[in-house]
Amino acid sequence: MTDITKEAMMPPRSFLSQDAIQVFYRLLAALLICAVLAVLSDSFLSLGNILNVLRQASLTFFIASGLTLVVLTAGLDLSVGANVALSACIAGTVIHKTGSPALGILTGLACGGIVGLLNGVMVTALRIPSFIATYGMLWVLNGLTYWYMAGETLHGFPAGFRQIGSGYLFGLPIPVYLLLVFLGIGTLFAQRTIWGQEIYAIGANPVAARLSGIPVPRRLLLVYAVSGTMAGLASIIFLSRLNSAEADIGESLTLPAIAAVLIGGTSLFGGVGTVFGTFIGALILTLVLNGMNLLSVSANWQPLVTGIIVILAVWLDMKTRRRAQ
């Protein structure tokens, strides 16, 4: 099929579209949550708490941003949390052995990217559904990480390296600057590049995408590799922030990342959503969890609330999709 036909099937996505309307409503929801929490808690609007919310939202966003591309193709990556754990433990070991934070960072990114690429190979070459492939990878990574660490904990990293996750620049946490950089890169990639348009097309209709000449397997390999690399980046931020690495570091990270993607408006059925929406989703989820902490709600309730939010987001997605059809 000619490039003209291919371009006709993938018109440039304008941010002033249905995606923008969804983001607008989610911004309103975030503002409403802020207003409610400001009334219920005197400390919510303190500078320290606002900076803490932004930092926590950025950590969730790093994992969820790569996951957004996977979900846009109607796939899912359940291994991101386990990927963060293995990448952090290996990167921490490299830093301890070599004394080089730069080499540790490169190792963490490479480890995350390789895991993502393996997920992509299982989905494209072996034709295993992404849910099954990445769920299996989750258990493989957990087993490798627990075997590798053997119950030990790594801690005590160089002060310069710790600045990545704990430092400030002009009054803002450094992870917030990284968030803005990757938010810009992710939005431009998804909305303004031909590869981004092809990812949307694959999620909307994989058969039509293949018939129009889009190299579907290669694009799927790309999105899973990006998702894994972003998990590797998150592992570096967590390693720097916590100043320690242990085998269970990623166990609580997968569900919030998936929740941020779905709350942000990305459809589980693919083809609909934005990276910016995922940022808003991460912000809403962080605000809810922060509000529960400020109001002294038991930590036992937080997974329950997160699960309910995910179910509601999926229900709204299905309802919107049926109405559109």
Q: pLDDT-based confidence at 229, cuts 50/70/90?
A: very high
Cβ(40)–Cβ(161) below 8 Å: no
Cα 13 from chain centre: 22
Tell whether the torsion through CA atoms of 264, 269, 274 and 278 is positive or negative: positive
Measured CA to CA, the distance from residue 179 to residue 176 in angstroms comes to: 5
Percent residues over pLDDT 70 in the chain:
93
- What crossing angle do the helices spanning 47-72 and 194-204 adopt, rounded to 10°? 70
Percent residues over pLDDT 90 in the chain:
70
Ramachandran sector of residue 167 (left: φ over 0; alpha: ψ -120 to 50; beta: rest): beta
Q: pLDDT-based confidence at 312, cuts 50/70/90?
A: confident
- Which tens digits make up the pLDDT trace of 184-206? 999 999 989 999 999 999 999 99
Measured CA to CA, the distance from residue 79 to residue 92 in angstroms comes to: 20
Look at the pTM and tell me if it is higher than 0.85: yes
Measured CA to CA, the distance from residue 164 to residue 181 in angstroms comes to: 14
Give the Cβ contact number of residue 113 at 10 Å. 22
Structure tokens at 285: 């989820």
Closest to 223 in 3D by CA, of 61, 72, 65, 69: 69
* pLDDT score for 298: 83
Residue range 300-309: mean pLDDT, rounded: 82
- Which tens digits make up the pLDDT trace of 101-144? 999 999 999 999 999 999 999 999 999 999 999 999 999 999 99
Is the pLDDT assigned to residue 83 strictly greater than 50? yes
Residue range 274-284: mean pLDDT, rounded: 94
Residue range 28-57: mean pLDDT, rounded: 92
Could you please report the per-residue DSSP string of 48-84? HHHHHHHHHHHHHHHHHHHHHHHHHTT---TTHHHHH
- Which tens digits make up the pLDDT trace of 147-183? 999 999 998 899 999 999 999 999 999 999 999 999 9
Phi, psi of 114 (to 5 degrees): -65, -40
Class of residue 177 by CB neighbours under 10 A (exposed 0-12, middle 13-18, buried 19+): middle
Cβ(220)–Cβ(75) below 8 Å: yes
Q: pLDDT-based confidence at 315, cuts 50/70/90?
A: confident
Class of residue 280 by CB neighbours under 10 A (exposed 0-12, middle 13-18, buried 19+): buried
Measured CA to CA, the distance from residue 231 to residue 79 in angstroms comes to: 9
Phi, psi of 75 (to 5 degrees): -110, -175
